[in-house]
Structure 1
Amino acid sequence: MPARNGNLELDTRFAAHLRTRRTIVTTAAIRRSEVAMSQLQLPPQVQQYTSLLCQQWKLWVPVAFGCFLLAATYSLVKPDQWQATQSVLLRDEAAGQLSGQGRFDSIDTMKAAQEMVVEVARNQAVLEATLKEVGRPAGSHSKGEWPALADVESLRKNVKVSPPNGAEFGTTEVLHLSVDADNRERAILLASTLCQQMDIALKNIRNRRADSVIAELENAELLAQQELARATEVLKAQETKVGSDLGELRSLNDAQSGDGNLRNAWNQIKQQIRDGEAELVKLDEQLNILKSAQNDPDNLIATPNQLLESQPSLRRLKDGLVDAQLRTSQLMGKMSKSHPQVQSAIAAEEEVRNKLKGELEIAVRGVQADLQLQRSRLNSINSQEAGVRERLDSLASIRAGYANLVADVDKCTLVLRTAHEQLADAKANKRASETSSLITRIDQPTTGEYPLGPGKTVIAGAGLLGGLILGVGLVVLLTPMPGSQGRRWTDRLWGRRSTDTSATPSAGDRRAVPRMAEQPPVNPDAPGRGRRATDQAPPATYPEVDRRGGSDRRGTAAPGDRRGQ
């Protein structure tokens, strides 16, 4: 027992020694902190506010701690929000656009297509189909119909379609489809499923639009066929009325086809008329020459051979007469006229003359017959020319109407061809809408490394900071501040308190004393006062007071002091 008591006494002494050492260390630390604070030389106003906060710690510390607890609790129970992004490439329809090959031909077309994708992504039917395929979220205990209208609206708020990197619609063909969900796997599944449902919805839209366009184009094609049949019947009636001159009418209507057969025949007939008239003039001239040669055969010798080409016998007789005359002239140059050879030559010449006269009569009758025949032929040709000209005039009178009919038929044919081509394109678009997609996925949906929004530490820190600000604000509102003469900020709303200090200035405040005290009026009739030079004014007093003690620093003025006069 004595040994045990001795051990207890030693333990007690050792504990007391430790407490003493701790007290000494604490005191030294406090002194060092006080020395450090004194060396910092904080402004007095800061020291006053710091002291006020230390005094009112029971007001702001619970508020800050409560806000911190609320923020920490919220950060623990708040569900994480994950975002999955699916990048897609949008193209234009390639059917009917052989040169575009699926690319948009203008920025406006691209904007319209991208806005349609945005509307499809936020469509209620698409969102319902997506939620039905994905199913209820994990941990859901709702037994109602799935998905409900509230679920669809919640998903619509969490769906976003935007261009990459903050670009505007119409500047790029790439779009980002972002979906927010409570966990990463569900966000990825929602993004992938929504992209599939958008593809199906776009195919249905293209299919319905193609059906509508096909129906409209079929009606347009039917109307074009009816108009073409009507115009064709009218043109057929007109061409039947024209008959054999249809080719000539078509050549008149077509400027590039050249002259028709009727016009060529008319040109040939006019050429024949010109040739016949020239031949008639030639025959008249021959007849006149032959008639003059009947009276004097020597005139025939001067006739050109071109006029006698149709009378070969006259031409030979003419040549024989010329030869006989030459022979007679030669013989008469050698012999006398009575010479038998000369007489024989003269007789031969006379015989040729007689034969020429007889031949001239025959030639005159032949030329007269040719002349009459030529006139008859020329009359016939003129009649033909008149008939051809009349036919051409008739065709010219109906050419304008026929041209309008042909143009109407061509227009109806063009409209029908265009409608047929557009109908073929629409059918191709419908077939393409069933087999191809305008949306091309770029890889799989991706998510970030962390959930959306601030983390738990940031939320707790923000709650602590907000609590500190709120606590300090309460201290400022509910506690008199240094230099406020005991008034609080809330007194501005409810007025002064009975504990507030008076507004009367204290002693030593220069605002309570006028700058110069008014001197009492001097009575000239008072005893001891007069107008003598030895008279002096009473000493002047100065109301200035000491700022620190409130006593007069100057007293009375000495005699002769001019400040008192």
Structure 2
Amino acid sequence: MPTNSASLTPARLLQLMQRHRSLLIAPAVAGAVIAALSTLVLPRDWKATQGLVIRSDAAGYTDQRLGKFTDLSEMKTVQETLLELARSQSVVTAVLSEVLGKEPSRQDIADFRDKLRLNPPGGAEFGKTEVFYVGVLNPNRDRAIAMVKSLTRQLDLRLNELRNERASSLVAEVERSVAIAREQLHKQAETLAAFEGSIGADLIELRHLTSPNGGQSELGQKVLAIESERRQSVDRRRQNEALLNELQTAVENPSRILATPDALLSGQPALRRLKNGLVDAQLVVARTAGTRTPNHPLVVAARHSQQAVQKELVRELPSAIAGVELELQVSQRREEELAAQIAQLRDRSAGLAGQRSEYAELVANVEGQTAVLERSLKQLADAKAARGGANSSSLLASIDEVETGVHPVGPGRTTVTAAGGMAGLLLGATLVFVFYAPPTETPAVVLSRTPTRGPAAAPSSTPPTAARVEARPALTPAPAPAETPAQAPAAAVQQPQPRPAPQPAPRAQPQPAPATSELPWAVEIARATADDAAKARPVSPLTTVSTVATTPTRTFGA
């Protein structure tokens, strides 16, 4: 075994490989032969793939495009469901029974699941596209194709069965919801009908109060009409009171009647005509007296006519006063009746306002139950449509036919053989490095102080002790190697001799050993370290410096 401590150079590595080439070639040839035999014995799988496109249910989805998913999460959920269906016990058993012609064992089912592949198109993420591929691995190419066809067919059938089961459960659930909604609506409608019956004739007014359209109610219109009539009655009463005062004054002063406005006399037509006739008679007297003498028969006749009209007016005043008083009484009674009607209408409005909240709540309950029933009926129709579509349509569509590659999947025989040879070659190289790699050395430096024997001597001018190189084992004790010129001791420590006069001790200078090209670099580093330490501090004659190199130790490299 070589013991040279030099580093492993490429040239030495090549020599080492050439020297032990049999240990390299034998594992390489054995690995190649074993790999070639394995390719002949072990079967290779063919991969058959079928592209499929999936769509969403079209029944019951009126707020989206037909056959399109609402979002990516829904499409991903459907594809994950298909993946679980493809690996389910029923689908795998049906596929293997159809292809193999017998009941599959548990191991057959487990092997089929291990060799089943569901992959998205190249470069896409699963669940991000409507297209995906179903693949099966099998040593027999025709059987792989048959398995993919059977799997596609069984997957479609099982998916339709699952849709039918889910739609049937939804139909049963929604039918129960519809029955409950109808029952609740019937109860709320009966309660509302009983309450409306208690309202009576004011039901229209109450409905108008709860109507969101708003507007003037019937009672409000009646109140406004009565208020208007009452104001008119008050105005007439005030006019009659003023007319009564004027007529009572005219009884004492008949000429006062001429100053009464025609508006006050609108309800006394006879009195108004007498007033107008008196005014006309006064005008005739004035015209006649202006052109004739006061004793002229025409003037006298005009005055007699004026006096006759005035007397008739005076006789008419008591009748007019009685009529005005009667009209005042009628107006007062009418005002009281109108006030009573207004109070009654307002009481009715107040009562309806108190019942408005309860009636609005009952109406809201009925409307809410009606909306719930309508929504449940729509859901029931959608569920029935989905159940009908599950039995008559398919969500999967095939893309072309089943395809297989030109060659089986995996590495070819040449590649496997070459890989086996490379593995054997690496094994041989590892063995060469383990058993025949050159060793390496670990340097160590030991500085020791060795006291001189006997009493302290006087200073001497003799040269200091030189460095001594010793070979010591690094890990375990071992016999010291043969001394070389580089490892021989330089000088021994000399005893100090008397001098005539004491001299100061010079600085100790270790004598370096002769350098040769065969010394390891670690020993040279140790000596340089010892020299630096000696220069850094003074060394007494009682001190010796020893440089120790460890024995060669082997390090193995793979």
| TM-score relative to the length of structure 1 | 0.77
C-alpha displacement of 1:44? 4.5
Identity of aligned residues (%): 36
Residue 357 (1) aligns with residue 314 (2): yes
Residue equivalent to 2:138: 181
Moved over 6 A (4+): none
For the 8 Å contact 1:82–1:183, the answer to whether it is kept is yes
> Could you tell me which of 123, 134, 140 is aligned with 2:88?
123
| Residue 507 of structure 1, CA deviation | 4.3
In the TM superposition, residue 518 of structure 1 has moved relative to its aligned partner by: 2.8
Confirm or deny that 1:247 pairs with 2:204: yes
Q: Which residue of 2 aligns with 1:386?
A: 343
1:62 shift after superposition: 4.1
Deviation, structure 1 residue 521: 3.0
Among 374, 378, 383, the alignment partner of 1:426 is 383
Q: Is the 8 A contact 2:17 2:432 kept in 1?
A: no
Map residues 90-489 of structure 1 onto 2, 5 A cutoff: 90-100=54-64, 101-135=66-100, 146-477=103-434, 479-481=435-437
**Secondary structure of the corresponding residue to residue 263 of structure 2:** helix
Query: 8 Å contact 2:55–2:67 — kept in the other structure?
Result: yes
What's the CA shift string for 1:179-224, capped at 9, x where partnerless? 1111222212211211111111111111111111111111111111
What TM-score do you get using the length of structure 2 for normalisation?
Answer: 0.78
Q: 2:32 aligns with which of 68, 74, 85?
A: 68
The answer on 1:87 being equivalent to 2:55 is: no
Number of aligned pairs? Answer: 467
Separation (CA, whole Å) in 1 of partners of 2:38 and 2:422: 15
Q: CA deviation at 1:435?
A: 1.2
SS of the aligned residue for 1:305 comes to coil
C-alpha separation in 2, matches of 1:482 and 1:245? 118
Which protein is richer in helix relative to its size?
1
**CA distance 1:523–1:259, change in 2 (3 Å):** closer
User: What amino acid is the match of 1:118?
Assistant: L
* 1:324–1:60 Cα change, 3 Å: closer
Structure 1 residue 52 corresponds to structure 2 residue 19: yes
Q: 1:307 to 1:65 in 2, by over 3 A?
A: same
Q: Displacement, 1:176?
A: 1.6
User: Which residue number corresponds to residue 522 of structure 2?
Assistant: none
CA shift in 2, pair 1:299/1:462, >3 Å: same
- Taking the aligned partners of 1:163 and 1:190, their CA distance within structure 2 comes to 19
Q: Any idea what SS the aligned residue of 1:88 has?
A: strand
After superposition, the C-alpha distances for 1:236-275 in whole angstroms (9 at most, x for unaligned) are: 0110001111111100111315223232222211211111
Deviation string 1:8-31 (CA, Å, 9 cap, x unpaired) is: xxxxxxxxxxxxxxxxxxxxxxxx
Determine the C-alpha separation between the residues in 1 that align with 2:276 and 2:164. Answer: 104
**SS of match in other structure, 2:425:** helix
Aligned 8 A contact 1:311 1:363 in 2: yes
Instruction: Indicate if the aligned counterparts of 1:162 and 1:176 stay in contact, CA closer than 8 A.
Output: yes
2:178 is matched by which residue type in structure 1?
E
Q: Is the 8 A contact 2:48 2:404 kept in 1?
A: yes
After TM superposition, give the deviation of residue 147 of structure 1 in Å: 0.8
* Aligned residue identity for 1:221: V
* 483 and 277 in structure 1: CA distance in 2 versus 1, 3 angstrom threshold: closer
Match of 2:491 among 501, 512, 517: 517
How far, CA to CA, are the matches of 1:399 and 1:448 in structure 2? 80
Residues 351 and 70 of structure 1: CA distance in aligned 2, closer, same or farther (over 3 Å): same
CA contact (8 A) 1:252 1:259 kept: no
On the 8 A contact 1:48/1:482 being kept in 2, the answer is no
- Which residue identity does 2:50 align to in structure 1? Q
**CA separation of 1:343/1:116 partners in 2, compared to 1, >3 Å: closer, same or farther?**
same
CA distance in 1 between partners of 2:246 and 2:160 (Å) = 102
Residues 489-500 of structure 1 aligned to structure 2 (within 5 Å): none
Measure the CA separation in 2 of the matches of 1:543 and 1:340.
190
Judged with a 3 Å threshold, the aligned counterparts in structure 2 of structure 1 residues 49 and 363 are, in CA distance, closer, same or farther, namely same
Secondary structure at the counterpart of residue 385 of structure 2: helix
For residues 22-55 of structure 1, what are the alpha-carbon distances to aligned partners after superposition, in whole Å with 9 as ceiling and x for unaligned? xxxxxxxxxxxxxxxxxxxx9641453144224x
- Per the alignment, residue 77 of structure 1 pairs with 41
Cα separation, 1, equivalents of 2:235 and 2:347: 25
Root-mean-square deviation over aligned CA pairs = 2.7
Instruction: Report the 3-state secondary structure (helix = DSSP H, G, I; strand = E; otherwise coil) of the residue aligned with 1:176.
Output: strand
Specify the alignment match of 1:3 in structure 2.
none
